Amino acid sequence: MSWTGTAERSLNPKPFADAPLLPRDGADDPLVYYPRSAYLPAEEAKKALTEHIVTGAQPTCVQWQPWGWEVRELPVWLTPDMSEYPAFRLISD
């Protein structure tokens, strides 16, 4: 899940061992993937969506982590001095 109000993604404290890599849109070069640690079980995602519909606020029933992407290689335009740099995590597996 993504929450744009605070630029956060959901955090699954027990990530799926077989979580697939899902690219953002396939047009990025290199590809950027949603962090696999953000994938939630369907029941947790439904619970969070219901909470948001009822309250209109960011769900509190899930944990959150800073916005970011997984990449196999860093984009050529990205340099260590850029504020976006920490949001790109290299895939090691």
| pLDDT, tens digit, 9 for 90 and up, residues 74-87 | 989 999 999 989 99
Nearest one of 23, 66, 62, 25 to 45, comparing CA atoms: 62
Compute CA distances 82 → 43, 78, 85, 86, whole Å: 37, 7, 5, 9
Q: What is the dihedral of CA 24, 25, 27, 33, to 10 degrees?
A: 20
Which of the four pLDDT bands, split at 50, 70 and 90, describes residue 11? Answer: very high
Location of structure tokens 């899930």: 62
Reading the block at residue 45, the tokens are 């995602």
- Report pLDDT digits (tens) over 13-63: 998 989 999 998 888 888 899 999 999 999 999 999 999 999 999 999 999
